[in-house]
A = this chain, B = another copy of it.
Amino acid sequence: MTNSIEQKIIHHVLDAIADQKLHAGTKLGEQELVGVFSCSRAQIRRALAMLTGYGVIDLIPNKGAFVSTPSERESRHVFEARRAIEATICKNTVQNAKSPEIARLRAHLVEENAVTAQTSRAEVLRLSRRFHMILAEIGQNDVLGQYLEELTLRSSLILGCYGTQRSSLCATGEHEKIVEAIEGGDADLAAALLDHHLSHLENDVDFSARRGSATALASILDVAT
């Protein structure tokens, strides 16, 4: 069970979802993927089967693989799960944050602050997401880290479907405050700020108007009925 090519496929698909290049409802045709990755169909099928576990790809019998379209219910569950998991991660982060870890966080904030109007949306998304993953890495719980990776992926999908403004990207100011709390060793404050930050994210979604399941053509042509 060779891992290299399948892992590569998985990685690329996941990255595309995180960057919102692949949006909800998109079909991932086997033939198409064979062309992109220039490999056999069997390998594509294995990769798709493995992708199931991340909760962002649905396999529908005789139809194919589709990027998941999260429901409102599911979205709320995802955000609640993030609050539960990131709270514990945050406590661990504070506990493990010595000067090298603090330096790493500060370096990341510098990157986030360097974002300009010219920066691609994908890059901004990647930075926002990365902040949370760095906290998880410093927290050192691999299981929670893996779950958070899945949840941030699903968050990208949700914000891609229902996000209202570009504030859906994590506000850098909030990240900064969290780092300060971590640096100050105040675990409770850091956790509270993080919880608040996640609430902001969740409040930015508007389930009344989903642009997720819209056909690519319809949204591109922008035809008013």
Contact = CB atoms under 8 A, between A and B. Distances in A.
Interface string A52-89: 11110001111011000000011001101101110110
Contact of A78 (B50, B55, B62, B143): B143
A88 B77 contact: no
A110 interface: no
A49 interface: yes
A46 interface: yes
Contact of A3 (B2, B61, B87, B146): B61
Contacts of A45: 1, 46
B147 A59 contact: no
A2 B141 CA distance: 35
A95 to B, nearest CB: 12
A64 B49 CA distance: 17
**A interface bracket (residues with beta carbon within 8 Å of B):** 35 or more
Given A46-B49, A54-B53, A84 B144 contact: yes
Nearest to A52: B50
Interface in A17-69: 45-46, 48-50, 52-55, 59-62, 64-65
A48 to B, nearest CB: 8
A143 B61 contact: no
A128 to B, nearest CB: 21
A222 interface: no
Contacts of A151: 143
A174 to B, nearest CB: 22
Given A77-B143, A80-B88, A81-B88, 9 more contacts: A50-B52, A53-B54, A55-B143, A55-B146, A74-B143, A81-B141, A83-B88, A143-B151, A147-B147
Sort A-B residue pairs by CB-CB distance and give the 4 closest, nearest first: A53-B53, A84-B88, A49-B49, A77-B143
23 contacts: A1-B45, A1-B49, A1-B59, A1-B60, A1-B61, A1-B64, A1-B65, A2-B62, A3-B59, A45-B46, A49-B49, A55-B146, A73-B142, A74-B143, A77-B141, A80-B88, A80-B144, A81-B85, A81-B141, A81-B143, A84-B144, A143-B151, A147-B147
